[in-house]
Amino acid sequence: MKTKRVDVAIIGAGTAGLNARREAEKAGASWVLIESGPYGTTCARVGCMPSKLLIAAAEAAHNVAHAREFGVNVENWNVDGRAVMERVRSERDRFVGFVVDSTESIPEEKRLRGEARFVGPKSLQVGDHTRVEAKSVVIATGSRPWIPPQLDAIRDDVLVNDDVFEWEDLPESMAIFGTGIIGLEIGQALTRLGVQIEFFNPFDELGRFSDPKIVAKAHKVFGKQLTLHLKSDATGVEKVDGGYRIQWTDLNGEDHERVFQHVMSAAGRRPNVEALDLEKAGIPLDHRGLPISDPRTLQCGDTSIFVAGDVSGHRPILHEASDEGRIAGANAAQFPDVQATVRKTSLEIAFTEPQMAIVGERYIDLDPDEIAIGEVSYDNQGRARVMGANCGLVRLYGRKSNCRLIAAEMFGPRVEHTSHLLAWAIQEGLTVPELLEKPVYHPVFEEGIRTAIRNLAKELRVSGQCGPQDRGEGPGA
């Protein structure tokens, strides 16, 4: 048993952990990075990158299927599942390779392999070989997919997104439990690639939308292109020849059953804390046993223990994990001089088609008395129509008291881009009249957003507390 003394011990070599150690290094602190699994981040290995690669293939198939609309005739085409997965895996391996190389370039004495657990607030046991005594600790252990109890009977066979990206070919069929962002992204992509996908969810949420009008639109649009069994009880799940039989009762109380080649859980993710023996860390825990931390400092109570990334539960998204790693790493190195950071405007995007985005707070978390709402339909928006992508609804929320744009729920084409425009504007505190002074080219998807802003301006005028000027209605919306 060796003992290692450092200023900062970082548990987890993912995005948050790697950023935390960079900050510790910058601050001149001594540090050690502890990892029990393979190197490579969740994002690169099983998250953002491989899912976007699968979606790119799905988009290629969709474009081929719809080329005739533009005057391009395709006589014969097919999806080569092996080729699809070959590109997904090889590009994924390339992205992962960069992270692994960069992690392995860290001097060996600063990397510890093995599972870490607290033996005291400033003391960690790593595997059975090393004791780490640290002035501060950053917990950056990430999260893993959760498998709901209704799949208990086949628990060991249930796939998660990690498994999908290891496929060498596409399957015939798959049942997906969950209609959150991960489920919809992967499930829609596979549907477009010809896999028979059916979704199951005892509830009826789609992605993270909360605005009733956007939720209704999403149900209508996805309901047409995907096989959704929402508010459906899966009454039986069992392994049979050739796959897994799912039995379910639909909304009308009718019973159904079908055999799927695979079953995947996309029912959410859970922070990785079980192995940590957190009760010995002396930090505040919530009722689920998860560390409670201040999102602006990532500090747990007034201890020298910090959390960062998915495990923190604040904002389980890559760019936020990246920020949290920096904040936690810097504060761990400077402890007890802990600095509060103003977090960025929240931005969530799902790369479905239409795309989904939530900017700032969700509608459901806003006080309806304090806001006015502006909206635009993309069902006939000029450029979207030109591109054959005219479908969607965007709703903007403005604060009556100061006429500022504060949040948006967005369901439509290319909202990955327009959501950035709005997130930056919201973070800058721009008012609706200020937004109307900004240039918008023609013909672009951004004109739809301007229409929504004009609509919001009108609603704010009606509310009587703001008097935004709109310099008129140009062509193109």
110 annotated binding-site participant: no
Cβ-contact 400, 430 below 8 angstroms: no
Judge whether 142 is annotated as a binding position.
Answer: yes
Beta pairing class for 255-260 and 111-113: unpaired
The amino acid present at 119, given as its one-letter code, is V
Closer Cβ to a copy of itself, 121 or 476, answer by number: 476
Cβ at position 62, least distance to a copy of itself in Å:
9
Known binding residue 181? Answer is yes
**Does residue 143 have a known ligand-binding role?**
yes
DSSP state, 110? G
Closer of 29 and 124 to a copy of itself (Cβ): 29
Tokens of 264: 């995947």
Residues belonging to the chain: 477
Q: How far is the CB of 476 from a copy of itself (least distance, A)?
A: 7
Minimum Å gap between C-beta 424 and a copy of itself is 5
Nearer to a copy of itself, 252 or 441 (CB): 441
CA distance 141 to 274: 10
| Nearest CB to a copy of itself, comparing residues 262 and 383 | 383
Residue of 119, 107, 143, 125 whose CA lies nearest to 324? 143
154 is in an annotated binding site: no
Is 432 in contact with 456 (CB distance < 8 Å)? yes
Task: Identify which of residues 170 and 273 has a Cβ nearer to a copy of itself in the complex.
Answer: 170
Minimal distance in Å, beta carbon 469 to a copy of itself? Answer: 12
Residues 6+ apart with CB under 8 A from 309: 12, 14, 15, 16, 17, 140, 142, 316, 321, 324, 325
- Residue 442 appears among annotated catalytic residues: yes
CA within 13 Å, CB half, 276? 29
Least distance between a copy of itself and beta carbon 289 (Å): 29
Query: Is 227 labelled as part of a ligand binding site?
Result: no
Measure CA of the first residue to CA of the last residue in the chain; give whole Å. Answer: 69
Catalytic one of 66, 129, 319, 442? 442
Minimum Å gap between C-beta 433 and a copy of itself is 13
| Cβ pair 367, 406 in contact under 8 A | no
Output the six-digit token pair for 393.
């609804």
CA-wise closest residue to 423 among 319, 333, 339: 319
140 CB neighbour count, 10 Å cutoff: 34
Asked if omega into 443 is within 30° of 0 (cis), the reply is: yes
Distance CA 272, CA 142 (A): 6
φ and ψ at 446, to 5 degrees? -65, -25
Q: Per the annotation, does 253 bind a ligand?
A: no
Q: Is 449 left (phi over 0), alpha (psi -120 to 50) or beta?
A: alpha
Cβ proximity to a copy of itself, 34 vs 55, nearer residue: 55
Distance CA(366)–CA(29), nearest Å, equals 42
345 annotated to bind ligand: no
Report how far residue 440's alpha carbon sits from residue 471's, in angstroms, rounded to the nearest whole number: 13
**Token pair recorded at residue 121:** 């607030």
> Is 313 marked as binding a ligand?
no
Rg (CA), the chain: 24
CB of 449 to a copy of itself, least distance (A): 9
Q: How far is the CB of 20 from a copy of itself (least distance, A)?
A: 10
By C-beta, is 44 or 138 nearer to a copy of itself?
Answer: 44
**Is residue 337 marked as binding?**
no
Is 190 in contact with 264 (CB distance < 8 Å)?
Answer: no
CA 209 to chain centre: 13
**Beta carbon nearer to a copy of itself, 282 or 476:** 476
Residue type, 142: G
Binding-site annotation: residue ranges for NAD(+): 178-185, 268
Q: Which residues are annotated as a binding site for FAD?
A: 52, 141-143, 310
Q: Would you list which residues are annotated within the binding site?
A: 52, 141-143, 178-185, 268, 310
- By annotation, the residues acting in catalysis are 442
